[in-house]
């Protein structure tokens, strides 16, 4: 290392590269010819997958950019930060999916069992169609230090858990669920059964031979409902 040369890059006085042969590089700098920027979308999709696969901290912007077929500098252009990229993923990719599930459960005029059925079916179908979603939740919500935890709880989890709990208690008053059931634990069991198969998909597929792809989502949801509705009923 040549010492004492700070090689600062602010001053434009430094002579640029005099001749540059660029013939094999796939894309030259400059605004591209075609329609406007769908590269932003590509970055969001790549980020969603890489974050889900490796976790936020272990994902590198280079890796995401490579998967999106762009340069890392583009993430700075569009999202400024790595954190900004994550926020954008949540806003534009996660939130819409959660909204669908919430809507199914909050449909008015349902008895407790129907509400439970609606939740299980809606969640199972969404998760089967978007396998990256449970993986991302696993990585960034469930894990300690997860970057999305506070945000996710405040925005999605609290409301949903409250609604499920209210339905359980209503069911107990109506006598369709047993009184000895602890409502909070029951909600936890619902969520456990629904979420776990998807976050453990690669494991259950290998060890148990249970597939959780969209064609089997219906059967999976029905199995869960069988266990839950019977398990919550008044014991014989």
Partner DNA sequence: CAGTTAATTAATCAATGAATTAATATTTCG
Partner DNA sequence: CGAAATATTAATTCATTGATTAATTAACTG
Residues 90 and 86: their CA atoms lie apart, in Å, by 6
- Shortest CA distance to 232 belongs to which of 170, 162, 159, 157? 170
| Burial grade of 167 (CB within 10 A; 0-12, 13-18, 19 or more) | buried
Which positions from 38 through 57 interact with its own copies, judged by CB under 8 A?
A: 53-55, 57
Residues 202 and 212: their CA atoms lie apart, in Å, by 9
Contacted entry of DNA, its own copies, none for residue 40, CB cut-off 5 to 8 Å set by kind = DNA
- Shortest CA distance to 79 belongs to which of 56, 47, 57? 47
The answer to the question of residue 17 lying near DNA (CB under 7 A) is yes
The answer to the question of residue 166 lying near its own copies (CB under 8 A) is no
| Stretch binding its own copies (CB under 8 A), from 23-31, 94-102, 110-118, 220-228 | 220-228
Among 19, 23, 40, 126, binds DNA (CB under 7 A): 40
The answer to the question of residue 97 lying near its own copies (CB under 8 A) is no
Q: Which long-range contacts (CB under 8 A, 24 or more apart) does 39-42 make?
A: 39/68, 39/70, 39/74, 39/78, 40/78, 42/68, 42/69, 42/70
Smallest gap from residue 59 Cβ to DNA (A): 6
The set of residues, in sequence order, having a beta carbon less than 8 Å from that of 116 and lying 6+ positions away, is 164, 167, 190, 225, 228, 229
State how far Cα 216 lies from the chain centre: 21
Among 18, 20, 145, 209, binds DNA (CB under 7 A): 20
3-state secondary structure of 77: helix
Smallest gap from residue 18 Cβ to its own copies (A): 15
Element holding 203 (H helix, E strand): helix 201-207
Q: In the complex with DNA, which residue's Cβ is closer, 83 or 150?
A: 83
The answer to the question of residue 24 lying near DNA (CB under 7 A) is no
Which positions from 65 through 104 interact with DNA, judged by CB under 7 A?
A: 69-74, 76-77, 80-83
State the residues that interact with DNA by CB under 7 A. 1-3, 5-12, 14, 16-17, 20, 22, 25, 27-34, 36-37, 39-40, 59-63, 69-74, 76-77, 80-83
State the residues that interact with its own copies by CB under 8 A. 1, 3, 14, 53-55, 57-58, 135, 138-139, 141-145, 149, 153, 157-158, 161, 165, 180-182, 184-189, 191-193, 195-197, 199-200, 202-204, 206-210, 220, 223-224, 226-228, 230-233, 235-236
């Amino acid at each position: 290392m040549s010492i004492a040369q700070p090689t600062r890059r602010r001053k434009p006085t430094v002579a640029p590269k005099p001749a540059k042969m660029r013939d094999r590089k796939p894309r030259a700098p400059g605004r591209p010819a075609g329609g406007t920027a769908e590269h932003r979308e590509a970055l969001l999709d790549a980020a969603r997958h890489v974050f889900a696969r490796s976790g936020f901290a272990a994902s590198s912007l280079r890796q995401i950019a490579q998967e999106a077929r762009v340069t890392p500098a583009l993430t700075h252009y569009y999202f400024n930060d790595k954190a900004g990229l994550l926020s954008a993923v949540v806003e534009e990719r996660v939130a819409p999916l959660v909204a669908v599930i919430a809507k199914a459960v909050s449909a008015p005029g349902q008895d407790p069992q129907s509400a439970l059925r609606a939740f299980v079916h809606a969640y199972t179908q969404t998760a089967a169609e978007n396998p990256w979603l449970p993986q991302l939740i696993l990585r960034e919500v469930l894990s300690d230090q997860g970057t999305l935890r506070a945000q996710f709880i405040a925005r999605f989890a609290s409301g949903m858990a409250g609604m499920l709990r209210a339905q359980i208690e209503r069911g107990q008053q109506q006598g369709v669920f047993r009184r000895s059931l602890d409502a909070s634990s029951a909600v936890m069991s619902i969520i456990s059964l629904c979420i776990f198969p998807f976050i453990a998909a690669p494991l259950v597929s290998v060890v148990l031979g249970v597939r959780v792809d969209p064609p089997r989502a219906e059967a999976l949801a029905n199995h869960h409902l069988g266990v839950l509705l019977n398990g919550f009923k008044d014991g014989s």
